[in-house]
Structure 1
C-alpha cells in the first residue's frame, strides 16, 4: 500500500475478525471509542480494560480495542452489561490562563482535560471528553467539550461559519481606521480573512467577532492593524455565551446545542 494511505487500525481489526467495518454515520463504532462515547470508560482506560480481558463482546472476551461494535452488540465490562447508545452531550468550561488544549503539557502547567476532570462529578468521569476547537495557553474563556466527534466536526468546520466572540486588551488605542480594516477583512500570510465584527469596549479593549477559526487568528489580525494583543478572552461560540466562573463548567441544554450551536444529531 502506498505511503500515506495506511489502513486504519479499526478496519484492520474488523477484517481480521471477518466482520463488517464500522460505518461512518455513527451507527457502528469500535469498542474502545464506543465505551468512551457512552460514558462507561474513557478511551485510554477502556483500552487497558480490553487488553486485560475484562471486556466481553457478544458473549466472548475481546482483547482488541479496535474491534467493531454494531447496533445490537452486547458488551460487558467486569461482568456487567453496559449500554453503548450514544447520547450527545456538550459541556461549557471557563478556561483559565495556563493549561493547554492538548493531551499533555511538557511545561508541567497542566491540560484543560485535567482541569475539567478535576471538577466533574463521578457520573461524567467515564466519558471521553473532546475539545471543540482550541484556545491558546494564555487565552481564557469559553471552551466546549463533547463526547460526540460529530459536534467537534460541526464546530470546527470552515463551512459552518459558527461565530466566535472575543474580547482583547491590546497595545495602544485602536482608531476607526484600524477597526474598519478588521471589519473589511485582512490579508494574512495564510490568506485573506473573512469580514469580522469589530467594536471598542474601552480605549484599549476590542470586541472581535469571527466566523472562522484559524491558528492564532485574533492575535494575528490585531497585530496586523498595529495593536498586538496583551490579554485575550472568548465570550461566546455561536449563540452560546459563557456564564460560569473561571474553572467552572455546566452542561448545555438540548436547545442550546441545537439552536445555539446549530447542531442536530439526526
Structure 2
C-alpha cells in the first residue's frame, strides 16, 4: 500500500486562510521563516513567539508559524512593527575540527551554529543562519552561511558546478598516475565523478578542486587512488578564498556574493 504523503504545514495554513492567501502556496514566505530571514529573531524563537500570541499579522494575532505573509502586510512583535525586508547576507566562517554541521551534536563537542552564535555580535544573532553545504566533523576550513535559502540552493546545486578547493594530507606520496586519474575522473560506488583539478603541494599533500559535492567525495576519491586522507581542509568556494583565522568569521561583500559565488538574487 502506498504511503500517503502529508500535506506541508505551510500549505495547510494557506488553505485555512482562504483563496486570497492560497495563491502564495507555490513560493511561500511563511511567518516564522520571514522573521528569521529579516533578522528579527531566529526561526525557533519566532515559532515560539508566534505560538505564544506575541505576533500580529495585519492587525490580528497569528498563532500559526507557517502562515503565509503577503508583501506589504503589517507585522508586529510584542506590539512593535517589524520590517521583513532584508538583503541577502553571506558569511565566511573558518570551521575548526570537531564541530558538526547539524542542529545538535550527540557527542557533545558542539555545532557550527552554536559556535557562530557565540562569536557574532548581537545585531547579527537575530538572523536564521543557514549553512551552505556541509563539512565533516574532522574537516576544517571554509564554511559559508546565509540568511537566504536561495543562496543555499545555488551553492549546493549540482548544476552550478561551483568549484570547491581542498587541501588534503594523505598517506603515501601520490605520483603522476594518481593525479592523472583524479584529473580524468574516477568511478566510485555511486557513479563516475567529474574531472577534478589535482596537483601536489608537498610530497604527501594534494590540492583537489571539485565541481560537485557528494558525500565524503574528496576522501573517497583519494582512497580510490591509494592515498587515504589523514587531514582535510577546504580553502575556497568559487572565487571566495578563506582569509580569517580558525573559529573566526566575516561578512562577504556584495561583489564576493555576485562574482565570487556567481549568485544574483532574482
Q: TM-score range by the shorter chain?
A: over 0.9
Name 1:259's counterpart in structure 2: 259
Name the count of aligned residue pairs. Answer: 263
The CA deviation at 1:210 is: 0.3
**3-state SS in 1 of match to 2:136:** coil
- With structure 2 as the length reference, what TM-score do the two structures score? 0.97
Name 2:55's counterpart in structure 1: 55
Gap runs ≥5 in structure 1: none
Name 2:227's counterpart in structure 1: 227
Residues 31 and 67, structure 2, Cα contact 8 Å, conserved in 1: yes
Name 2:248's counterpart in structure 1: 248
User: Residues 102 and 4 of structure 1: is their aligned pair in 2 closer, same or farther, counting only changes over 3 Å?
Assistant: farther
**3-state SS in 2 of match to 1:91:** strand
Residues 138 and 232, structure 2, Cα contact 8 Å, conserved in 1: yes
| Cα separation, 2, equivalents of 1:152 and 1:183 | 27
Residue correspondence of structure 1 range 49-128 to structure 2 within 5 A: 49-128=49-128
Runs (4 or more) in structure 1 with deviation over 6 Å come to: none
String of CA shifts for 1:34-62, please: whole Å, max 9, x gaps: 00000001000000000111101000111
RMSD, aligned CA:
1.0
1:205 equivalenced with 2:205 (yes/no): yes
| Cα separation, 1, equivalents of 2:191 and 2:247 | 35
Gap runs ≥5 in structure 2: none
| Cα separation, 2, equivalents of 1:29 and 1:246 | 35
Residues 35 and 46, structure 2, Cα contact 8 Å, conserved in 1: yes
After TM superposition, the structure 1 stretch with the greater mean CA deviation from structure 2, 16-25 or 192-201, is 16-25
Residues 37 and 148, structure 2, Cα contact 8 Å, conserved in 1: yes
| Cα separation, 2, equivalents of 1:73 and 1:93 | 35
| Cα separation, 2, equivalents of 1:32 and 1:216 | 33
- With structure 1 as the length reference, what TM-score do the two structures score? 0.97
**3-state SS in 2 of match to 1:81:** strand
The CA deviation at 1:3 is: 2.8
1:189 equivalenced with 2:196 (yes/no): no
